[in-house]
Amino acid sequence: MKLSDYLKSIDHLDERMEKAVIIAGYEKMFGEHYRLPQEQFADLMELPLPKLRRVIHEMKKAID
């Protein structure tokens, strides 16, 4: 791995961690019945952060 690749992966670490925390919060709020399949988790992780927040908000509204 080149240094530039390593630095690029570290650069996006904060955003990936924040996305994972948002998704985990959703799953924890609604329990095991609403656990996301791995494919959906991967798809959500690809979304930009603002869009991910909107999608999770809509998912919560649909369950409530």
pLDDT (tens digit per residue) in 15-27: 889 999 998 888 8
Encoding tokens for residue 58?
A: 């809509």
Q: How confident is the model over 25-61, as pLDDT tens digits?
A: 888 887 777 777 778 888 999 999 999 999 999 988 8
Q: Is the pTM of this model over 0.85?
A: no
Residue with tokens 């992780």: 45
Comparing CA positions, the residue from 38, 13, 41 lying closest to residue 26 is 41
Q: How many CA atoms lie within 13 A of 59 on its CB side?
A: 18
- Domain count across the chain: 1
Domain range for residue 19? 3-63
Please count the CA atoms within 13 angstroms of the CA of 18 that sit on its side-chain side.
12
pLDDT band for 62, please (50, 70, 90 cuts): confident
